[in-house]
Amino acid sequence: MEERIEEYTYEEEMKESFRDYAVSVMVGRALPDVRDGFKPVHRRVLYAMKTLGILPDTPYKKSARIVGEIIGKYHPHGDAAAYDTMVRLAQDFRLNVPLVDGHGNFGSIDGDAAAAMRYTEARLALAAMELLADLDKNVVDFRDNYDGTEREPVVLPAKFPQLLVNGSIGIAVGMRSNIPPHNFGEAVEAFLLYLNNPDAPLEELLEVMPGPDFPTGGLLTNPKEFREFYRSGEAKAVIRSKIEIESASYGKTNVVITEIPYPLAGNKAKLVADLTQLVVERKLNEVTDVRDESSKDGIRIVLEVKKGTDIPKFLTKLYSLTKVEVNESYQFLAIVDGRPVQLGLKEYFRLYLDFQKELTRRKYRYLYEKGLERKEILDGLMAAVNEIDAIIEAIRGSSSIAQMKRCLMNGETNGIQFRLKKNEKVAKGFRFTERQARAILDMKLQRLGRLEVEALQKEREQLEKELEKARKILEDDRELVKEIRKEHQKIKNAYAVPRRTLLQEMKQIRYTETKKEEDVWVSVDRLGYCRLLDGDLAEPPADAVYAYHTKDNDRLVVFTNQGNVHQVKLSAVPKTKKKEKGTTLHALAKLERGEYPVYVTVKSGLSGREFLFVTRFGLCKRTKGDQLVFSRLKMAATGLQDGDELVFVRESSENEQLVLVTKRGYMGRLRTGLFPVQTRPAKGVQSLALKADDEIEQAFLWVEGKKSEISVNGITISASDIPEVRRGSTGKRVG
């Protein structure tokens, strides 16, 4: 065999492999098919239940048995994926039209998980049959399952726009699909409008289906803006809870949440917990109590509000600070011909109509072919009734079934004993087809009765009508569309329900809290514990390394060894008493592993000042405090070389001197004016010239005339005795 070596670069192989993986995730797991609106796992759950015969009119079957069927035959993944999908298909707070009828604990809108699969039971819901009907009529293609032992449908023959009605959510590699659910009656009616006039403007379709309809109800407060979803396939929805205002005792008011935003479906308990936490943190200080009085009759979350509260202002605050109002982004992304496509409403209806035409054609082609076969049999049976005496005598006189069939099909009478010559003569004229001959031989004698013969005649007449109908549908596109319209109208009448979600244009008002500023002390001790104290105190705690008297709307500014500067809102620092320990800076500033504070100040102390930075490698610079004023909670305060870190930061002025001491005992005094004022990203200039294995160990600022001492290698030295040097000098060594 000739040796063949193909060379690939690592880059090419990675690119190709990742592309293949991304496509397999999109098509095989993450995104819905535009035709039936399902991902493979949903399709397999429903098909497995149908093959098990767990229909709406049959008893429930254990979920564990169903899951075993799903993963054993169709879905080669964990049982949790199959069971979670089945549970979701049964939850009426997630789907407008549940497709599984669950019996037992199938989870709740609060967020309670479903019971284990060994405890619950399920069967197909009635609406699911509209997605599984006609599978036996060759309406869709089938393919081998994962091990080639079973067959499964490539797509389900959906008889309603399931992708619109129940929506879908899926995250693929580098893309996301999030399609909101819509009202069943409105979605089908909009499709029928498109069916009647494919050139109808989008606005006309949106008069029938003006927006999404969530199972949890609520209000869509930006329906005009959301219309962009139906044009381009992408838009933001602002979904608000439904709220009722009730009078309570002692002049109080109850703000009652009766419906929650759809993104919180299955998360109501967390909403209640978050509301309670905000009350505890005094961010909703108008509320005296939070109660969840929800029951089987519906949601009822009660916020008891203080007497005299401005309710409209409080509601604005509630919408801004809590998930009572939610912003959700939606993308109309689905698989079309094996690739992801972002769709508008009209494009979706065009693809859905093409699918419905294909289903209907294949169904009636199948019925037409089967009808012709049945007509052939009926013609044979009716002809046989007229010649029944000759047929019976031929059968009685034959020695084998093969001989009987040859007589019926070809008129061969050789070897067959006839008692009457006229019957033999009739038999020689038999020219039945093989299918007719088989039906005649299988026919029971009771079919020879007069009533049975009349029944055959009626069946044939009815069959002629059905064949004519099928022929028209297959040959005339207008008849095809008429049939699709009739089917969808029938389904709409069966499943349409009133709209749950109100569409009401409302302006989004962001709440901004205005409160009186208060004086506070903020201090940090040598162990890194931060305390926020009453501003009326005469002095900060004695153990404070950093202490600032400021306003409570200020921010703590933390410079770290990694060259970052973090901000902490003082409103986020718990207020403590003087002798209490406080909270660690590490937790407040969310410092990373290996990161620690080098200097701490407050934001109000940055503007109009200069700050001196010193790194372990001896690089120094001055930076204007205005460059360190920012709104984010974290940013880089200085550039650093690889392996370098910040060791010293202080507010400085040109009349100060920087005292530096290295690990090997070299020291020097440099005027701060020697260091240029640089921007934040700059790394600074060299101060002392360091040996290969040396680094800055100590740094502090000294003002001439001020007494200051330093300990180096066990020797105490006055700052005034340290020699003043220029940049680039090695300094004087001690010890």
Alpha helical stretches, state H, 173-294? 184-196, 202-208, 223-226, 228-232, 268-280
Residues 570, 297: Cα–Cα separation, whole Å: 44
Residues 520, 553: Cα–Cα separation, whole Å: 10
Phi, psi of 168 (to 5 degrees): -165, 150
DSSP letter at 96 equals S
3-state secondary structure of 289: strand
Residues 72, 295: Cα–Cα separation, whole Å: 39
Sign of CA dihedral 66, 70, 71, 72: positive
* Tokens representing residue 712 in the block: 């180096």
- The backbone region for 124, taken as left when phi is positive above 0, alpha when psi lies in -120 to 50, beta otherwise, is beta
Distances (CA, A) of 187 to 263, 328, 483: 21, 21, 18
CB atoms within 10 A of CB 36: 24
Report whether 556 contacts 570 (CB < 8 A). Answer: yes
Residues 525, 547: Cα–Cα separation, whole Å: 9
Distances (CA, A) of 165 to 62, 140, 161: 28, 21, 6
Nearest to 214 by CA among 233, 239, 235: 239
Is 119 annotated in the active site? yes
Residues 206, 210: Cα–Cα separation, whole Å: 4
* Tokens representing residue 372 in the block: 């012709």
For 203-235, the DSSP string reads HHHHHHS-S---TT--EES-HHHHTHHHHHSEE
Report angle CA 146, 342, 169 to the nearest 5 degrees: 55
Residues 670, 663: Cα–Cα separation, whole Å: 18
47, 83, 119, 529: the catalytic one is 119
Please give the positions annotated as active site. Answer: 119
